[in-house]
């Protein structure tokens, strides 16, 4: 149970979920989801089917769901819709090229062929009725071929499109492609980020979509909410006695929520330059994680109860202080010809959020995100305060930390001070380590998109962003974004492949974070 660094592993490394006889519960019923029919013919329409997101995320997620039996060929049909004039066969071949990469097994390739046969492509504009009437005709034909009575069908529209066309596309869906009756079926819309650029544009978009669809039909996707360890956050916090008394200002000194990528914005410079790292990562992905780390316990697992608590904690965030912000832009960012030569867009930001409530008053939540840094990872690092009456000189070893590594190599570990094994009475820092790869060897962790599309089919909105949540998120960041857009705040330069501007580490230290020195982790072997 120990490794050479003194690491203590909380369970045998040789277990899969089944072998370790883990008792698992499904909470689907308790969530009291939507309540509308979840059977019958299902039509999934991917709008923007010719695009990058559709190819890399949406269709692969649908394929994996199909592969695992969640989409049955006798009830599901998938439609691709975009302006590009290609045939269904051409779309299938494009997708085959992408989805068959690295697959040699003939059974797998067989599954892929069966999946591709479910896909039909319709070409049309995003604001003209003709294309959407044709789409509706195709969906209806599919529904009648499955002997579905009028109105007993389920229609899911996935908007893999630039937000500028959301309103017109939603209007077209509303006018021409709706399921006939919500009593015997449903129409649901998955909307991708970015949801607006600031508070007013987000509110305008929400109002436009709100005129066309009820909130319960809208699924604003933030794929971080579909990540395994993000979904685990509330379980860990509220199902473990360990954490209940510790999770507060009395014990926690600071919390970091970090996103790093070791590549730049190549290929997406045009989009990125308009948005920047705060809108691309912090205002959505990191803030969603922040909500789950900081919110109070919900009354139940019902999606609305959970989302109510997320809104409350967002509303308790104090205005961001400019002295608690460091922005950066990597050298060479502006060499991309799709980026403005005078761009003031940050590709790196560290922002300290402070919550004005009983649990968190005084505890800095440090949100940090950057492109073109020295590594790729996303993690939450909860750093505890020092032990009072420190007879073992624990302070020398470093503070206790609870780290949740969202990616890569999902893990949770607690860094703690223990006696160094041996005759001497001395202490070292070690860890309780739950590395998913070791602990759950046979379990394939699903892609975030897979999970979230399945949630939409099941009518579970827990892991989607509600309108008031979105508003509260923009309220936090809009004043800061205005200052950046007006050129009042300027990003500091940093070298690609570095840790970002040194000022960011200085801010971290100022906020109270203490780096653990001399701690060496030796990875367990399988
Ligand atoms: P790290 O050593 O990666 O990072 C410790 C912290 O120090 C991070 O918050 C990092 O921030 C910060 N940091 C690094 N350099 C500086 C600096 N110059 N100034 C200020 N802050 C800095 O993580 P750990 O100590 O938790 O673990 C050490 C290694 O062991 C890691 O590689 C970890 O992944 C691994 N480990 C893995 C386990 C597992 O897989 N189960 C279990 C235990 C440990 P930033 O993110 O900004 O770099
Ligand atoms: C997207 C951002 O939302 O998330 C990208 O637009 C970023 O800039 C991506 O690269 C990161 O997602 P993941 O799942 O790879 O961490």
Q: pLDDT tens across 469-516, in order? A: 999 999 999 999 999 999 999 999 999 999 999 999 999 999 999 998
The mean per-residue pLDDT over the stretch 145-152 comes to: 63
Centre of ligand 1 from the C-alpha of residue 414, in Å: 12
| SS3 of 186-245 | EEEEEECCCCCCCHHHHHHHHHHHHHHCCHHHEEEECHHHHCHHHHCHHHHHHCCCCCCC
CA distances from 193 to 49, 220, 229, 279, 463 (A): 16, 7, 21, 10, 14
Per-residue pLDDT reduced to its tens digit, 75-88: 899 999 999 999 99
Residue 138, pLDDT > 80, answer yes
- Residue 335 DSSP label: G
Q: How far apart are CA 59 and CA 180, in angstroms?
A: 26
C-alpha triplet 413, 416, 418: angle, nearest 5°: 130
Q: Do you find a cis peptide bond into 502, omega within 30 degrees of 0?
A: no
Residue 217 backbone dihedrals phi, psi, to 5 degrees: -95, -10
Supply the pTM of this predicted model: 0.91
> What pLDDT sits at residue 349?
98
Higher pLDDT, 51 or 287: 287
> What's the whole-number average pLDDT of the chain?
90
Q: How many helices (H) and strands (E) does the chain have?
A: 17, 16
Centre of ligand 2 from the C-alpha of residue 189, in Å: 21
Higher pLDDT, 506 or 392: 506
Q: Are the C-beta atoms of 5 and 522 separated by less than 8 Å?
A: yes
Cross-strand partners of 377:
260
> What pLDDT sits at residue 399?
94
CATH H-level superfamily of 226-391+449-457+466-511: Dihydrodipicolinate Reductase; domain 2 (3.30.360.10)
Q: Which ligand is nearest to the CA of 524?
A: 1
Q: Are the C-beta atoms of 473 and 284 separated by less than 8 Å?
A: yes
Per-residue pLDDT reduced to its tens digit, 334-349: 999 999 999 999 999 9
Centre of ligand 2 from the C-alpha of residue 89, in Å: 30
Exposure letters 53-76 (e unless 16+ CB within 10 A, then b): bbbebbbbbbbbbbeeeebeeeeb
Give the DSSP H or E segment for 107: helix 106-116
The mean per-residue pLDDT over the stretch 275-281 comes to: 97
Atom 22, ligand 1: residue with shortest CA distance? 515
Of ligand 2's listed atoms, the one at least distance from the Cα of 285 is 3
Of ligand 1's listed atoms, the one at least distance from the Cα of 260 is 46
> What pLDDT sits at residue 73?
79
Q: Are the C-beta atoms of 42 and 65 separated by less than 8 Å?
A: no
Of ligand 1's listed atoms, the one at least distance from the Cα of 409 is 40
> What pLDDT sits at residue 159?
96
> What pLDDT sits at residue 2?
37
Catalytic residue IDs: 285
Atom 32, ligand 1: residue with shortest CA distance? 521
Q: Which of 280, 286, 376, 410 to mutate to test ligand 2, by most ligand atoms within 8 A of the CB atom?
A: 280
> What pLDDT sits at residue 38?
67
Q: Which ligand is nearest to the CA of 447?
A: 2
Of ligand 2's listed atoms, the one at least distance from the Cα of 448 is 14
Q: Which of 499, 506, 509, 526 to mutate to test ligand 1, by most ligand atoms within 8 A of the CB atom?
A: 499
Centre of ligand 2 from the C-alpha of residue 283, in Å: 13
Residue 283, both tokens: 């205002």
Q: Which residues line ligand 1 (CB under 6 A)?
A: 256, 258, 381, 403, 409, 411, 413, 431, 433, 435, 505, 508, 515-516, 519, 521
Q: Which ligand is nearest to the CA of 52?
A: 2
Residue 149, pLDDT > 80, answer no
Q: How far apart are CA 315 and CA 475, in angstroms?
A: 9
| Least confident piece of the model among 9-18, 28-37, 144-153, 195-204 | 9-18
Q: How far apart are CA 285 and CA 224, in angstroms?
A: 6
> What pLDDT sits at residue 167?
92
The mean per-residue pLDDT over the stretch 121-128 comes to: 94
The mean per-residue pLDDT over the stretch 217-236 comes to: 96
> What pLDDT sits at residue 320?
98
Centre of ligand 2 from the C-alpha of residue 285, in Å: 9
- Residue 281 DSSP label: I
Atom 31, ligand 1: residue with shortest CA distance? 521
Q: How far apart are CA 87 and CA 78, in angstroms?
A: 14
Exposure letters 168-199 (e unless 16+ CB within 10 A, then b): ebbbbbbebbbbbeeebbbbbbbbbbbbbbbb
Of ligand 1's listed atoms, the one at least distance from the Cα of 374 is 48
- Each domain of the chain, given as residue ranges in start order, spans 39-184, 226-391+449-457+466-511
pLDDT band at 220 (very low <50, low <70, confident <90, very high): very high
Provide the percentage of residues in the chain whose pLDDT is more than 90: 78
Centre of ligand 1 from the C-alpha of residue 267, in Å: 30
Of ligand 1's listed atoms, the one at least distance from the Cα of 516 is 25
Q: Are the C-beta atoms of 215 and 442 separated by less than 8 Å?
A: no
Residue 272, pLDDT > 80, answer yes
Domain 39-184's class? alpha beta
> What pLDDT sits at residue 233?
97
Residue 283 backbone dihedrals phi, psi, to 5 degrees: -65, -20
Residue 333, pLDDT > 60, answer yes
Centre of ligand 2 from the C-alpha of residue 136, in Å: 33
Atom 6, ligand 2: residue with shortest CA distance? 280
Q: How far apart are CA 193 and CA 449, in angstroms?
A: 13
Provide the percentage of residues in the chain whose pLDDT is more than 70: 90
pLDDT band at 34 (very low <50, low <70, confident <90, very high): low
Q: Are the C-beta atoms of 382 and 255 separated by less than 8 Å?
A: yes
Residue 5, pLDDT > 70, answer no
| Least confident piece of the model among 181-190, 235-244, 268-277, 363-372 | 181-190
> What pLDDT sits at residue 37?
60
């Amino acid at each position: 149970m120990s490794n050479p660094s003194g690491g203590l592993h909380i369970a045998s490394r040789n277990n899969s979920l089944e072998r370790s006889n883990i008792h698992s519960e499904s909470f689907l019923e308790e969530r009291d989801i939507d309540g509308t029919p979840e059977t019958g013919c299902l039509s999934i329409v991917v709008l923007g089917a010719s695009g990058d997101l559709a190819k890399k995320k949406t269709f692969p997620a649908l394929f994996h769901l199909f592969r695992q039996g969640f989409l049955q060929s006798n009830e599901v049909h998938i439609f691709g819709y975009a302006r590009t004039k290609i045939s269904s066969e051409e779309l299938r071949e494009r997708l085959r090229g992408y989805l068959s990469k690295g697959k040699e097994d003939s059974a797998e390739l067989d599954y892929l062929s069966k999946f591709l046969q479910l896909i039909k492509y319709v070409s049309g504009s995003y604001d003209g009725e003709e294309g959407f009437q044709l789409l509706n005709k195709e969906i209806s034909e599919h529904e009648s071929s499955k002997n579905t009575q009028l109105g007993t069908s389920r229609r899911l529209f996935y908007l893999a499109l630039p937000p500028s066309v959301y309103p017109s596309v939603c209007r077209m869906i509303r006018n021409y492609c709706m399921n006939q009756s919500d009593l015997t079926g449903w129409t649901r819309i998955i909307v991708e980020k970015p949801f607006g650029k600031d508070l007013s544009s987000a509110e305008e978009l929400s109002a436009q979509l709100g005129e066309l669809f009820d909130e319960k039909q809208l699924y604003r996707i933030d794929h971080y909410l579909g990540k395994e360890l993000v979904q685990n956050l509330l379980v860990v916090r509220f199902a473990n006695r360990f954490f209940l008394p510790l999770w507060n200002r009395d014990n926690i000194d600071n919390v970091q929520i970090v996103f790093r990528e070791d590549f730049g914005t190549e290929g997406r410079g045009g989009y990125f330059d308009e948005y920047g790292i705060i809108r691309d990562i912090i205002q959505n992905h990191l803030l969603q994680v922040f909500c789950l780390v900081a919110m109070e316990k919900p009354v139940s697992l019902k999606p609305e109860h959970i989302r109510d608590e997320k809104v409350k904690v967002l509303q308790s965030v104090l205005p961001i202080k400019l002295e608690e912000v460091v922005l950066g832009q990597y050298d060479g960012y502006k060499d991309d010809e799709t980026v403005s030569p005078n761009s003031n867009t940050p590709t790196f930001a560290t922002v300290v959020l402070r919550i004005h409530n009983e649990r968190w008053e005084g505890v800095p939540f440090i949100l940090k995100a950057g492109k073109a840094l020295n590594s790729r990872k996303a993690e939450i690092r909860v750093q505890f305060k020092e032990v009072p009456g420190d007879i073992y000189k624990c302070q020398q070893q470093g503070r206790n930390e609870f780290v949740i590594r969202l990616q890569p190599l999902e893990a949770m570990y607690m860094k703690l001070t223990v006696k160094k094994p041996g005759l001497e009475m001395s202490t070292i820092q070690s860890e309780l380590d739950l590395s998913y790869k070791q602990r759950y060897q046979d379990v394939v962790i699903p892609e975030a998109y897979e999970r979230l599309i399945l949630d939409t089919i099941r009518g579970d909105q827990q892991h989607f962003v509600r309108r008031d949540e979105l508003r509260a998120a923009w309220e936090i960041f809009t004043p800061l974004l205005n200052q950046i857009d007006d050129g009042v705040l300027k990003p500091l330069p940093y070298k690609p492949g570095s840790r970002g501007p040194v000022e960011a580490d200085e801010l971290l230290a100022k906020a109270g974070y203490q780096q653990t020195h001399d701690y060496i982790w030796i990875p367990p072997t399988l």
